[in-house]
A and B are shown apart, each in its own frame.
Chain A
Amino acid sequence: MNILIAARLAFARIIATKTRSGLTMLGIIIGVMALIALVSVAQGATSGIQDQFKGLGARNLTITGTTNQSITVDDVIEIAREPGVDIVSETVSGRATISSNQASTRAQVIGVDSDYITVVDPDIFVGSFLPNVENTKDARLIVLSSSLASDLELDAYSINSTIAVGSTEFTVVGILDDADGFGSQGSAYIPLDTAFKYVAVPPYLSSITVQTINEEIVPEVTANLTSLLKARHNISGEREADFVIVDASQLLDAIGTVQQFLSLLLGGIASISLVVGGIGIMNIMLVSVRERTREIGIRRAIGAQQSQILTQFLIEAIVLSLVGGIIGVIIGEIVAYFLAQLGQWNFALSPTMILASLGFSMFIGVVFGVWPARTASKLKPVEALRFE
């Protein structure tokens, strides 16, 4: 029998038994909806983080000491001489009590050099970042993150006001916009030499940020700097290095892995409900085959081959699961859209995901439709005709 006629018959049946078909499809609808919505959450949430990392600069790599006394200002001088290195920015950090007239809190105070603004490019909410302080290296100027500013009950009008770091007075020159600044929340920034004077011990640094001349040579520079620093720190053979070099690609890779894992995990959970939906279809199809024994008998009597009966019932199961899948995709995308609004990440229709969901629901229809369809095709015509 023509597949088209079988499909039309299947649609006619689904419409004729609306309530039952709807309830049967519900399992698939919920399964596909969950699959689409959960995977979009996994991808949306992590792609937001990925974008933030990309903001860090793909040309950058960061060297961090594993102890407080690992990397020094002398390392910076050597690093700057390496080929492929464009800019080197050094930071130190320490914790200190910061007090305004209204409030007081302990915070991370980071000492940065004049290249920091070029390499990291922080977003300014009000005022400016630390000005070029070559002439007054130990200027007592400070830039606050907005969360720290609010902890200290300062606002946009507090520019040029005075706060205390420990017992030393500093002038506030700017407040940062934390919203998409990565890792800067709750910190204050002061000039490097000022930091060495008040919160850190020279010549030890907490991190060095290196900007290479282009993205392609990042791995090569990473390798060169590793051997350079190992030699300088007298580390050889199997001994663990006292520093870690991280570039953006590694972070992006790590996030990519997290994203894949999350998608698989959430998708896997949703797939279970799809399988359960498939069992629902099988159940109803078995009932349907029993109810329609007489019809199958008539069809066999007037010349339907076993294969044609099998096709008819299989198509019915596939149409059920596919229609359920289509409804599930539509609802799932709507849910994903609202979740994206809620979580403030970009909503994107993924054709791959939609096709995969539809493919999977069709697959479920075939897998769970085969048994009922076989049962129908194996009915003996004589007995099926006599069935009341």
Chain B
Amino acid sequence: MAAVVEMSNVTKTYGEGSSIVKALDGVDIRIKKGEFVAIVGASGSGKSTMMNLIGCLDRPTKGVVKVAGEDLSELNDKKLTSLRNYAIGFVFQSFFLLPKTDALDNVATPLFYRGVPAKEARFRAMEMLTKLGMEDRYSHQSTELSGGQQQRVAIARALVTEPSLILADEPTGALDSKTGKQVMDLFADLNDEGKTIVLITHDLDVAKRATRRITLKDGKVINDERDKK
């Protein structure tokens, strides 16, 4: 099966000269379509850098990162932005919904940026909210929604573009354990439907819900295990 994410000998450094910091050091991984991967590591292990690279927000210092077949180092800002819009569905720890914007337009915004006409974009956004059981909250702003509801809207926003992968950064970090479990159940269901999911977390209980765990330490992959089917 085709690889959604391909990293070959990837190094990412920050700073210059004596204050140089190696965030990633020779990382090689492939994530295939339909996988449910958790990238696990302590703070400073390089998992945020991983997320920035997989999310097409940054480019590697050395090595090759390919997302949906595109080499990030060969793309200019415009094409990289376009790749994010088409290939990645972001889910953030603090939800990151747009302020002063209702749930419906929050979900529709990635489609607006893609140039989908407003009417069609809102129709598709409504469909996605309905799928996640949020249809009666479509006119609410983020300040009027609970944490779990906000995360559902954020997941709807990630799904509406039909991306190659869902990239979730500590998606349960700001939720209580019950709501967190519901969100993880949702990810499991989405994976069952065939969606590729990459989860960045430091929480091992959360990581257990994935079918594959990649553990990072000091910028290196120290463990890569798959559940046996």
Contacts and interface: CB of A to CB of B under 8 A. Distances in A.
User: Do the two shown chains form a genuine complex with each other?
Assistant: yes
Interface of A: 1-2, 4-5, 9, 12-13, 16, 294-295, 298-306, 308, 381-382, 385
A303 B101 contact: no
B220 interface: no
Contacts of B113: 1, 299, 302-305, 308
Interface in B75-120: 77-78, 81-82, 84-86, 90, 92, 96, 98-101, 109-110, 112-114, 117-118
B52 A382 contact: yes
B112 A301 contact: no
A302 B157 contact: yes
Contacts of A5: 112, 118
B132 interface: no
Contacts of A294: 96
B114 A303 contact: yes
A382 B96 contact: no
26 contacts: A5-B112, A5-B118, A9-B101, A12-B101, A298-B96, A299-B98, A301-B96, A302-B85, A302-B90, A302-B110, A302-B113, A303-B81, A303-B82, A303-B85, A303-B110, A303-B113, A303-B114, A303-B161, A304-B81, A304-B113, A305-B78, A306-B78, A306-B81, A381-B57, A382-B57, A385-B57
Contacts of B98: 295, 298-299
Interface residues of chain B: helix, strand, loop or mixed (majority): helix
B52 A299 contact: no
B100 A13 contact: yes
A300 B99 CA distance: 15
B58 interface: yes
B112 A2 contact: yes
Contact of B81 (A4, A295, A305, A382): A305
Nearest to B108: A5
Given A5-B118, A295-B98, A301 B78 contact: no
B112 A300 contact: no
Given A301-B55, A301-B90, A302-B90, A295 B110 contact: no
A16 B114 CA distance: 27
A382 B58 contact: yes
Given A1-B113, A301-B96, A306-B78, 11 more contacts: A9-B101, A295-B98, A295-B99, A298-B92, A301-B90, A302-B113, A302-B157, A304-B81, A308-B113, A382-B52, A385-B96
